[in-house]
Amino acid sequence: MTISPEALALATKVEAFVRDVVIPFEKDPRRDHHGAPLDELVYELREKARAAGVLTPHVKPDGSHRTQRETAAILIRSGLSPLGPLACNTNAPDEGNMYLINHVGSPELQARFLKPLVEGRARSAFLMTEPAEWGGAGADPSMMKTLCEPDGNHWVANGRKCFITGYEGASVGIVMARAAEGACMFLVDLPDPAIRIDHIPDTIDSSMPGGHATLTIDNLRIPADQMLGQAGEGFKYAQVRLSPARLSHCMRWLGCCIRAQEIATDYACRREAFGKPLIEHEGVGFMLAENKILIKQCELMIDWCAGVLDTGDLGTVESSMAKVSVSEALMKIADNCVQVMGGTGVTGNTIVETVFREIRAFRIYDGPTEVHKWSLAKKIKREWKAVQAS
Confidence band of 304 (pLDDT split at 50, 70, 90): very high
Q: What is the pLDDT of residues 329-371, one digit of tens each?
A: 999 999 999 999 999 999 999 999 999 999 999 999 989 999 9
C-alpha separations of 327 from 50, 116, 333, 359 in Å: 31, 31, 10, 7
Q: What average pLDDT does this structure show over 71-83?
A: 98
Per-residue confidence (pLDDT) for residue 200, from 0 to 100: 96
C-alpha separations of 370 from 165, 275, 304, 305 in Å: 22, 44, 22, 19
Instruction: Name the residue with higher pLDDT: 139 or 87.
Output: 87
Contact yes or no for 14/88 (Cβ under 8 A) = yes
C-alpha separations of 48 from 51, 71, 255, 349 in Å: 5, 21, 20, 25
Q: What is the pLDDT of residues 44-69, one digit of tens each?
A: 999 999 999 999 999 999 999 999 99
Distance CA 78, CA 59 (A): 14
Catalogue all structural domains in the chain, each as residue range(s) with its CATH number. 5-91 (no CATH), 124-232 (2.40.110.10), 235-381 (1.20.140.10)
* Confidence check: pLDDT of 258 > 70: yes
Distance CA 367, CA 128 (A): 13
Per-residue confidence (pLDDT) for residue 297, from 0 to 100: 98
The dihedral through the CA atoms of 104, 320, 360, 215 has a sign that is: positive
Per-residue confidence (pLDDT) for residue 1, from 0 to 100: 60
Distance CA 278, CA 341 (A): 9
Q: What is the pLDDT of residues 1-59, one digit of tens each?
A: 689 999 999 999 999 999 999 999 999 999 998 899 999 999 999 999 999 999 999 99
Contact yes or no for 52/14 (Cβ under 8 A) = no
Q: What is the pLDDT of residues 84-126, one digit of tens each?
A: 999 999 999 999 999 999 999 999 999 999 999 999 999 999 9
C-alpha separations of 78 from 6, 28, 294 in Å: 16, 18, 20
Q: What average pLDDT does this structure show over 298-302?
A: 98
Q: What average pLDDT does this structure show over 131-145?
A: 90
- Residues contacting 258, CB < 8 A, separation 6+: 76, 79, 80, 295
* Confidence check: pLDDT of 139 > 90: no
Q: What is the pLDDT of residues 163-201, one digit of tens each?
A: 999 999 999 999 999 999 999 999 999 999 999 999 999
